[in-house]
Amino acid sequence: MQGCLQGKVAFITGGGSGIGAATAERFAQEGARVVICGRRLEPLEQVVASIRAGGGEAEAMQVDVSNEEAFVGALKATAEKYGQLDVLVNNAMAFTWGSIEEMTTEQWRANFTTSVDGTFWGTRAAMQLMKAHGGSIVNLSSICGELGTPWMSGYSASKAAVTNFSRAAAAEGAPYGVRVNVVIPAVVETPATEGMLADENSRKSTEKLIPMGRVGQPEELANAILFLASDQASYITGATLPVDGGRSAVLVTALD
């Protein structure tokens, strides 16, 4: 797929680490001009420096996607600066942890501001910007949105919403050549899972539940996102692609 995003302009949220950073690197390798955003500038600048050192084009914008005005403004500014917006990856997320009976309304709603509201605001703005020439939107959901996950009811509900919202967006964008697809990770080795995977017993227990016997790497998610973002997936829209080592394909696995 060498050069499959040549000349394309791509905007990636949550681009300072993990899946977002790996996706930015991968997009740049394929010729895209990449804009990444996040709440903290320092990690964004590190990703940009890495991309530029490899000969790619990248820019960082300190933007919290839970702020509608700031996020939409950043997307419009990107399209104005580069003359177009071809790809949007809604990767940024936030979550709270806790039981349903003890969760406050504020904690419940905190799961939705970034994952659902941010995805909606970004998708709406991108569809408006892409309507004249087409484009690709890739939204990140989670296996938690597919399967019941105790102690993560708010996050699970928000990711389920992202998946079904994306199907509706795909139907509305299709007449204009705007494709909307979803990538569904399970456990991926990122800063968000660092605490859980640092414990050897916890890591081994997690890996036993995955048919491929290991957790995913950000680069593996980035490759899937790249495919859906590129013209290689020109006839794919409204799809949900699990990238989870087979975790969602099984009800149970035998544990030693």
Active site residues: 155
Give the containing element (helix H, strand E) for 169: helix 153-173
Q: Output the DSSP codes for 95-114.
A: ---B-TTT--HHHHHHHHII
How far CA 141 is from CA of 32, 79, 113, 155, 193, in Å, comes to 23, 25, 14, 10, 16
C-alpha Rg value of the chain to the nearest Å: 18
CB 182 within 8 A of CB 138: yes
Which SS3 state, helix, strand or coil, does residue 76 take? helix
Among 86, 17, 74, 70, CA closest to 48: 17
- Which residue is listed with tokens 């806790």? 98
Instruction: Measure the CA–CA gap between 147 and 51, rounded to whole angstroms.
Output: 36
Q: What residues contact residue 86 under an 8 Å CB cut-off, 6+ apart?
A: 5, 8, 9, 10, 32, 130, 133, 135, 136
| Structure-token pair, residue 76 | 């419009």
